[in-house]
A and B are shown apart, each in its own frame.
Chain A
Amino acid sequence: MRRDDEHEQDVYGTFGVRAGVVVLGLEVLAESPRAAGVPVVVVAWEPPAGGDERLARIVAGLL
């Protein structure tokens, strides 16, 4: 758990899911937690370096 706090475990559950979920990728995966009342933020994700995997690896290596 991100914060080692028993109070958070009581409020958000053993795995902390009820605190909120961030979705990167398939938007359809946002549906079931949202339906369960979990706050969900969807990232408008796009592949880095215009999707060029080789270039993305090089850029990641520079950062």
Chain B
Amino acid sequence: MARPPTQEQFDEFAQVAWPRLYRSAYLLVGDHASAEDLVQTALAKTFGNWGRVRTLEAAPAYARQVLFNTAMSWFRKASWNREQPTEVLPDLGQDSDPTTRSVLLDAVAALPPRQRAVVVLRFYEDLDVRRTAALLGCSEGTVKSQTSFALDKLRTILGDPTLTLEVTQ
């Protein structure tokens, strides 16, 4: 088994990985407290499972996978789903600017959890369809269809009918 890093090495890794993981987590769960909890959980599990991580270089990708696995586990909780209604889309009014950042984050937060995870992985983490499918444990076809549904919904919310997807691998 790979030797665990020293606390100093792990702290250094955690400090470097923290901002990126935190932003992914925030996009996934939509609030600061849950995002912080999610990343703390992912980092602690990464350290606890160092035998599979093996090297500090591999740790960021491992921590990302644990973060998404943990988030998907949270999403399966009935309480989480009840707290995240997605049927009613936010009324953005006539003056909404589709390029306004908070509006985009609100729109992403309004997606159902699986679609949100696909959007974050494909458009924020920049993973291709295959890697996204592997990370979420679903088929590439599911990733493609979830991406399509998500973009449909984002179009509706953002009022931008020109939002298209170039299906890239």
On whether the two chains bind one another, the answer is no
